[in-house]
Amino acid sequence: MLAEELSRRLPEAVLFDPEYVGYLLRHWVPAPTGDFQDLPSWRELVIATALSLRKHHAGTLIAPMTLINDNYLAEILDGLRVGGEEVLHVFLDLDPAVLRQRITDRVLVPNDPERDQQGRDFCLRNLDRGIAAAARVPPGTLLLRSDKLTPDELADEVLTRLQGLSG
């Protein structure tokens, strides 16, 4: 919801969801662990796609993605920075019970109940890892409580931080 609100407020921005890179890769390469983030190709392609989108299409790129593996997060953030990008990393933290309920209530694949449930199950299996990641965010990360702020308020916080970076 934050990404959509930022996209609404920044109409010139491109909303790039790295999960779609993973969905594409699934057609060619199985992820042995079941998580496409474990594929080196996914991480490389996310960086390359983000850099290409910025170069050719976007002054601002919004990329909603949960990266709970510290090494993968560092690899992607470092790759973007080496590519000349200034990155504002935002981590949305919340109460575990609220997160569990949001995952349970969410519809990921509306026309395919089986895949929809598989997606929810995957998220629930990784819930504890995601909660623990909040304690390990890299320096400079904007850490926000999404159970305490509305999407509008979250967007205000992100835009305020962005203004500070460019100002």
Domain ranges of the chain: 2-161
What's the average model confidence in pLDDT over 20-44? Answer: 94
Confidence of residue 136 (pLDDT cuts 50, 70, 90): very high
- Give the per-residue pLDDT at 167: 60
**Share above pLDDT 90 across residues of the chain, in percent, rounded to a whole number:** 84
**Looking at the predicted structure, is the pLDDT value of residue 12 above 80?**
yes
What's the average model confidence in pLDDT over 33-58? Answer: 96
What's the average model confidence in pLDDT over 59-84? Answer: 96
What's the average model confidence in pLDDT over 123-144? Answer: 93
Q: What b/e string do you get for 129-141 counting C-beta neighbours within 10 Å, with b at 16 or more?
A: ebbebeeebeeeb
pLDDT tens digit string along 112-129?
999 899 989 989 998 999
CB 55 within 8 A of CB 19: no
CB 123 within 8 A of CB 103: yes
Cβ contacts of 130 within 8 Å, gap of 6 or more: 66, 68, 99
Confidence of residue 108 (pLDDT cuts 50, 70, 90): confident
What's the average model confidence in pLDDT over 85-110? Answer: 94
pLDDT tens digit string along 153-166?
999 999 999 998 76
As a CATH number, domain 2-161 is 3.40.50.300
- Predicted TM-score (pTM) of this structure: 0.90
CA atoms within 13 A on the CB side of 36: 22
Confidence of residue 149 (pLDDT cuts 50, 70, 90): very high
Residue whose pair of structure tokens reads 């997160």 in the numeric block: 99
